[in-house]
C-alpha cells in the first residue's frame, strides 16, 4: 500500500496541554509519526512517498478564508503580544449570549476560532498543518489517478476541525478537504467512515446539509466523552443532507470487538446502499484497549479484522490518519488495519 508522509508535519510540536486541570506533556506528539513510519517499513507495507505542495485553494473549498488567514498569522501575532511564550492558547470563548464578532486582538480571535484548549498554535503550526493537508491531497490524487488504496499519514489530525473552528488537536480537516477534492474532480458521491474513538464533529458539521457526502461514525458516546456536545444518534443530517449522517455512539468500558463489529455492520450497510465512488476512512487507532485517553477494548487482531471489513466494500479507499495515543502499539495497530485491508 502506498503511504504519503511529510517530515514537515513534525514542526507542530506544542510542549503541553491541559488534562485533568493541569498541564501535561502534549499527547498528539510528532513521535506518533515515527512509530507508524517505523512499523510500515518493518512490515514492508509498500512505498512511502513525500507529498506534492498544494495551494490553499482546495483548503478554501472547506474552510472559511478568514479562518485560513487567522491560522497563517496567529503565531506571529501571539509572539508580538507575548514574546516569551512558546504556545498560543485561547482563554475565553464567545459562549451563549455573547456576540460572535472577531475581536481585534489575537487573544480574542483565538477564543473566537477555537472550541477548546487542545489545539495550541506554535511557531511551526502553519507549515505542519499545510503539510498534513498536502499528504491527504497527494494520496487523494493518486487514488484519482487509479491507485486502489492509499494511506495519508497525516498529523496534526483533522476530524474535529470545522469550517472555521479548531478543536481536539485539529486545525485543517484533512479528510474533509480530500473528500471535497474527489467531488471537485468529478466524483458524484463520497462516503466518509470515521473509526476514530472520538466523534468527528468537524467533519459532520462540514457536510451536514449535503447529500453528496455520507458521513458515518462509530465513537464514544458524547454524553461520556469528547467532543461532549455533538455526535448523538439523532443527528441524521438537515435539509438536503437529511439521512446522510449516521452516528453510532457506543458505551465506554463495555465496547469490545463484538459490540463494535455490530455497529460497524450497520455503517457498512448504509455505505454500501449509498453507492459512493470513493471511500475516505478517518483512521483513528484510539479505540485500542490500552489507549491512554480512551475507553474501548479493541485489540491488535481486531484492527486487522477491521481492515478486512473495510476492504469488503470494494471501493477505492483513502485512509487518513487521525488519533491514537498508545505510542508503543500505534505502529502495529495502524499496520494491522492496512494489512487486513490489503489481504482481502
For residue 137, the SS3 value is helix
Task: Quote the CA–CA distance of 279 and 86 in Å, as a whole number.
Answer: 39
Q: Compute the least distance from the CB of residue 283 to Zn ion, in Å.
A: 10
- Grid cell for residue 280: 475516505
- Tell which residue, 218, 110, 200, has the closest CA to residue 162: 200
- DSSP class of 8: G
Q: Which is nearer to ligand OKP, 118 or 174 (CB)?
A: 118
Separation CA 142–CA 149 (nearest Å): 9
Using left for φ > 0, alpha for ψ between -120 and 50, and beta otherwise, residue 291 falls in: beta
Q: Are strands 48-49 and 149-152 parallel, antiparallel or unpaired?
A: unpaired
Q: 166: which strand partners?
A: 114
Minimum distance of ligand OKP from residue 309's CB (angstroms):
21
Interface with ligand OKP (CB under 6 A), residue from 202, 323, 331, 340: 323
**Range 81-120, binding ligand OKP (CB under 6 A):** 118
CA–CA separation, 110 and 81 (whole Å) = 13
Query: Does residue 291 touch Zn ion according to CB under 5 A?
Result: no
Number of residues that bind ligand OKP (CB under 6 A): 13
* Burial (0-12, 13-18, 19+ Cβ within 10 Å), 228: middle
Among 124, 323, 331, 340, which residue interacts with Zn ion (rule: CB under 5 A)? 323
Residues 228-287, interacting with Zn ion (CB under 5 A)? 284, 286
Cis peptide before 227 (omega within 30 of 0): yes
Q: Tell me, yes or no, if 79 is annotated catalytic.
A: no
Cα–Cα separations (whole angstroms), residue 202 to 62, 170, 215: 11, 9, 11
Binding flag, residue 197, Zn ion (CB under 5 A): yes
> Which among 160, 199, 201, 332 is annotated as catalytic?
160
Per-residue x/- marks for ligand OKP, 157-196, CB under 6 A?
A: x--x-------xx--------------------------x
**Which of the residues 193 through 252 are near ligand OKP (CB under 6 A)?**
196, 198, 226
Specify the residue, 124 or 227, whose C-beta has the smaller distance to ligand OKP.
Answer: 227
Using the minimum distance from each CB to Zn ion, give the nearer residue, 51 or 323: 323
Picked from ligand OKP, Zn ion, none, the partner binding residue 157 (CB below 5 to 8 A depending on kind) is: ligand OKP
Q: 226 or 257: whose CB is closer to Zn ion?
A: 226
- Interface residues for ligand OKP in 255-314 (CB under 6 A)? 284, 286, 293
Nearest residue relative to Zn ion (C-beta): 323
In angstroms, the CA 114 to CA 93 distance is: 8
Please report where in the chains the cell 513525500 appears, as a residue: 50
Which residues form the catalytic set?
160
**Which residues contribute to the site for ligand OKP (CB under 6 A)?**
118, 157, 160, 168-169, 196, 198, 226, 284, 286, 293, 322-323
**Which residues contribute to the site for Zn ion (CB under 5 A)?**
196-198, 284, 286, 323
Amino acid at each position: 500500500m502506498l503511504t504519503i508522509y511529510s517530515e514537515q508535519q513534525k514542526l507542530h510540536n506544542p510542549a503541553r496541554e491541559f488534562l485533568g486541570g493541569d498541564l501535561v506533556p502534549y499527547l498528539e506528539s510528532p513521535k506518533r509519526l515515527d512509530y507508524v513510519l517505523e512499523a510500515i517499513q518493518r512490515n514492508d507495507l509498500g512505498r512511502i512517498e513525500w507529498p506534492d505542495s498544494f495551494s490553499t485553494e482546495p483548503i478554501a473549498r472547506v474552510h472559511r478564508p478568514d479562518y485560513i488567514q487567522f491560522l497563517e498569522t496567529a503565531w506571529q501575532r501571539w509572539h508580538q503580544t507575548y514574546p516569551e511564550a512558546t504556545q498560543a492558547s485561547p482563554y475565553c470563548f464567545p459562549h451563549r449570549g455573547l456576540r460572535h464578532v472577531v475581536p481585534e486582538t489575537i487573544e480574542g480571535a483565538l477564543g473566537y476560532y477555537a472550541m477548546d484548549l487542545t489545539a495550541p498554535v506554535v511557531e511551526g503550526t502553519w507549515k505542519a498543518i499545510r503539510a498534513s493537508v498536502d499528504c491527504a491531497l497527494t494520496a487523494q490524487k493518486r487514488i484519482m489517478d487509479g491507485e486502489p488504496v492509499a494511506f495519508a499519514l497525516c498529523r496534526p489530525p483533522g476530524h474535529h476541525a470545522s469550517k472555521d473552528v479548531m478543536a481536539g488537536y485539529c486545525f485543517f480537516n484533512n479528510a474533509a478537504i480530500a473528500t471535497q477534492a474527489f467531488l471537485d474532480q468529478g466524483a458524484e458521491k463520497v462516503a466518509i467512515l470515521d473509526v476514530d474513538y472520538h466523534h468527528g464533529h468537524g467533519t459532520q458539521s462540514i457536510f451536514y446539509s449535503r447529500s453528496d457526502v455520507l458521513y458515518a461514525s462509530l465513537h464514544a458516546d458524547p454524553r461520556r466523552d469528547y467532543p461532549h456536545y455533538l455526535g448523538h444518534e439523532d443527528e441524521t443530517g438537515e435539509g438536503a443532507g437529511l439521512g446522510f449522517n449516521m452516528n453510532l455512539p457506543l458505551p465506554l468500558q463495555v465496547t469490545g470487538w463484538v459490540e463494535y463489529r455490530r455497529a460497524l455492520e450497520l455503517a457498512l450497510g448504509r455505505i454500501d446502499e449509498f453507492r459512493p465512488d470513493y471511500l475516505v476512512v478517518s483512521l483513528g487507532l484510539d479505540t485500542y484497549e490500552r489507549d491512554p485517553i480512551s475507553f474501548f477494548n479493541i485489540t491488535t487482531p481486531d484492527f486487522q479484522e477491521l481492515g478486512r471489513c473495510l476492504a469488503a466494500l470494494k471501493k477505492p479507499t483513502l485512509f487518513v490518519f487521525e488519533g491514537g495515543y498508545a505510542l508503543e502499539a500505534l505502529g502495529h495497530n495502524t499496520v494491522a488495519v492496512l494489512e487486513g485491508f490489503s489481504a482481502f
